[in-house]
Amino acid sequence: MKSEVEREELYPAVIRAASCVSVAVRSVRFIDTRGLHVSNLDALAECMRGVAPAAGVACLVDGFRLPDCEIRHTAVVDGDARSAAIAAASVIAKVTRDRYMRRIADTHPHWNFDGNVGYSTPEHRDAIREHGISPLHRRSFASIAYTQLGLGEDTPLGSAGEVHGSSERVADVIDLDSVRPDEDADDVEAVAGDS
């Protein structure tokens, strides 16, 4: 796995080399409703449709077959270590996500998203203990992580599972200059074919 700095350095080269790029975004509400794995498969299938490969082109997918995708493809276990195309897609996905988390950090300052980009660092866990979860935190993750953190009825999570802030909002991350954290982007799929 590449470091964040290495991914940022690779990103422009990957974009230049790609004939087309497709990125699908799923909101917290979408993931909490359908589950992370199903949401990931759904987003990946949408990306496959977004690049619409020509007949006869080999399509590789990292790890899992896509049961609801009509495009013929092959699942490759540890694909980002075995396929340059899958590794390139991983770079695009991770850089896009990390950049979004940095952009949204000012809207949700208590969780240091510009430093941890949402990963479970000790400081991030401390912020959750102190402030509860933000609108960007998955509630379906609570059964594992939040329980381990000791979040319960007498913590900032609240007795009804309330979230710090008013609602769940996710913005389109393709055009990073247009990120609007105040808009709900459930089920947003964005395709950057000529980026």
Amino acid letter, 71? I
Q: Give Cα 108 to chain centroid, integer Å.
A: 17
- Mean pLDDT for all residues in the chain: 77
Q: What amino acid occupies position 4?
A: E
**Count of other CB atoms within 10 angstroms of residue 160:** 7
Q: Residues 40-79: pLDDT tens digits?
A: 999 999 999 988 777 678 889 999 999 989 998 999 999 9
Q: How far is CA 39 from CA 9, 47, 67, 147, in A?
A: 28, 12, 12, 23
Q: What tokens appear for 145 in the block?
A: 């992580």
The pLDDT of residue 139 is 82
pLDDT tens digits along 116-131 = 999 888 999 899 889 9
The answer on pLDDT for 187 being more than 80 is: no
Using 50, 70 and 90 to split pLDDT, how confident is the model at 138? confident
User: Does residue 170 carry a pLDDT above 70?
Assistant: no
Helix, strand, coil % over all residues of the chain, rounded to 5:
45, 5, 45
Cβ-proximal residues to 110 (8 Å cutoff; 6+ apart), any chain? 127, 130, 131, 134, 164
CB 154 within 8 A of CB 163: no
Please write the tens of the pLDDT for every residue from 71-117.
Answer: 989 999 999 999 999 999 999 999 999 999 999 999 999 999 999 99
Q: Which domains does the chain have, with CATH numbers?
A: 4-104+169-192 (3.30.420.10)
